[in-house]
């Protein structure tokens, strides 16, 4: 399967994904995750309106290609904006394309933005993606945009579901652009340390996905904390050394890569022993999955609103 670069739209959360290279395209479950349309509905549309044209493997397993996904994303956007599927199904590709463009230009909801991002991701349209990023950031407060649009986009592409629905290159394409914007926004904040407190941000040795951690560090710096950001895959001995060299008041980390419950709990105990006087904040998918027993100084952060309350 190839990614086509012809534009359909030209406008302008987080994370062990366990993505595999798709050898036979998208399954119907992949379409559900990526489009937000239930599998049952997709089957009905396909049977009743001949909406998609699935392929079959040598073993007769149905699969869908990029064109099917892009068509479904565009139709999803139209139905969410009040168009009846019975009407849309009679339109050709150019008519669908024009209606989507009209919606993009004249009225755009948060859900529409996510659908537009999805189409640009499938096409790996760098220019269109950056334009849409800038458009969203011009329409919404930075924090609101990240939490209500960008992080929900990450959920859609597999951030929390780990279903292997997209190419690794597509995931990296998306996250790298958001990461650049987020780092630029952090750099624009003046370091004040008005709280007279230092917060350490890091990910453990097997953790690579730092989008949520970067966002939390942005909130901490904006709130007047002196942030000490170490980033991905930090060896534990380095944490212990830093704690002996620098006064640390708070610690923040995230667990999104798959990790066994006992290993997670052991790691939290090590954090407690290394930072016995500090409050340790933790977040991430694996916390929800494993529900670990927490040392006394460890606190789970559910979302950025809760974190802001702790920041004061």
Count of Cβ atoms closer than 10 Å to residue 6 Cβ: 8
- Note the pLDDT tens digit of each residue in 178-211: 888 889 889 999 888 888 899 999 999 988 878 8
- Note the pLDDT tens digit of each residue in 216-243: 999 999 999 999 999 999 999 999 888 8
The reply to whether 123 falls in a domain is: yes
- Note the pLDDT tens digit of each residue in 71-89: 888 888 888 888 999 999 9
Q: Residue 187: enclosing H or E segment and its boundaries?
A: helix 168-188
Token match 């923040």: residue?
Answer: 252
How would residue 159 be classed by pLDDT, with cut points 50, 70 and 90? very low
% the chain with pLDDT above 70: 86
The answer to whether residues 72 and 181 belong to one domain is yes
DSSP lists the bridge partners of residue 228 as 200
The pLDDT of residue 194: 85
Dihedral sign from CA coordinates of 109, 113, 115, 119: positive
Given 168, 185, 202, the domain boundary residue is 185
The pLDDT of residue 105: 65
Dihedral sign from CA coordinates of 105, 99, 148, 212: negative
Whether the Cβ atoms of residue 234 and residue 205 lie closer than 8 Å to each other: yes
The answer to whether residues 173 and 243 belong to one domain is no
Query: What is the mean predicted confidence (pLDDT) over 131-149?
Result: 88
Residue 10: pLDDT over 70: no
The pLDDT of residue 160: 36
How would residue 312 be classed by pLDDT, with cut points 50, 70 and 90? confident
- Note the pLDDT tens digit of each residue in 76-129: 888 888 899 999 999 988 888 888 878 766 656 788 888 888 888 877 888 999
Q: Residue 208: enclosing H or E segment and its boundaries?
A: none
The answer to whether residues 143 and 253 belong to one domain is no
What are phi and psi for residue 252, nearest 5 degrees?
Answer: -135, 130
The answer to whether residues 179 and 34 belong to one domain is yes
Paired tokens of 145: 């945009």
Closest CA to 210 of 228, 191, 233, 187: 233
Paired tokens of 178: 């958001």
The answer to whether residues 89 and 205 belong to one domain is no
Query: What is the mean predicted confidence (pLDDT) over 294-302?
Result: 94
The parent domain of residue 287 ranges over: 190-311
The answer to whether residues 122 and 271 belong to one domain is no
The pLDDT of residue 162: 41
How would residue 18 be classed by pLDDT, with cut points 50, 70 and 90? very low
On the 0-12 / 13-18 / 19+ scale of CB atoms within 10 A, 220 is buried
The reply to whether 38 falls in a domain is: yes
Question: In the chain, what is the straight-line distance between the N-terminal and C-terminal CA atoms, in Å?
Answer: 50
Paired tokens of 311: 């920041």
Query: What is the mean predicted confidence (pLDDT) over 249-277?
Result: 92
The pLDDT of residue 36: 79
The answer to whether residues 110 and 208 belong to one domain is no
DSSP lists the bridge partners of residue 299 as 281
Count of structural domains within the chain? 2
The pLDDT of residue 206: 86
The pLDDT of residue 217: 94
């Amino acid at each position: 399967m190839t990614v086509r670069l012809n534009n359909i739209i030209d406008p302008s959360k987080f994370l062990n994904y366990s993505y595999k290279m798709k050898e036979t395209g998208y399954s119907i479950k992949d379409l559900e995750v990526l489009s937000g349309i239930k599998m049952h509905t997709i089957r009905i549309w396909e049977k009743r309106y001949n909406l998609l044209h699935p392929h079959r493997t040598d073993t007769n397993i149905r699969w869908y290609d990029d064109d099917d996904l892009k068509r479904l994303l565009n139709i999803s956007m139209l139905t969410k904006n009040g168009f009846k599927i019975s009407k849309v199904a009679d339109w050709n590709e150019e008519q669908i394309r024009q209606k989507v463009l009209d919606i993009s230009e004249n009225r755009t909801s948060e859900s529409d933005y996510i659908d537009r991002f999805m189409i640009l991701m499938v096409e790996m349209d760098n220019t269109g993606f950056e334009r849409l990023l800038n458009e969203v950031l011009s329409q919404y407060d930075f924090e609101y945009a990240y939490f209500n649009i960008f992080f929900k986009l990450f959920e859609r592409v597999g951030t929390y579901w780990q279903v292997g629905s997209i190419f690794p290159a597509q995931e990296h394409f998306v996250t790298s652009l958001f990461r650049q914007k987020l780092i630029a926004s952090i750099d624009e904040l003046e370091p004040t340390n008005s709280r007279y407190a230092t917060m350490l941000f890091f990910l453990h040795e097997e953790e690579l996905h730092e989008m949520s951690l970067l966002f939390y560090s942005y909130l901490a710096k904006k709130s007047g904390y002196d942030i000490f950001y170490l980033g991905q895959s930090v060896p534990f001995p380095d944490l212990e050394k830093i704690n002996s060299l620098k006064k640390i008041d708070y610690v923040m980390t995230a667990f999104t890569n798959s990790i066994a419950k006992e290993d997670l709990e052991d790691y939290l105990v090590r954090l407690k022993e290394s930072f016995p006087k500090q409050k340790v904040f933790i977040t991430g998918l694996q916390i929800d999955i494993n529900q670990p027993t927490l040392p006394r100084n460890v606190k789970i952060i559910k979302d950025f609103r809760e974190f802001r309350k702790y920041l004061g």
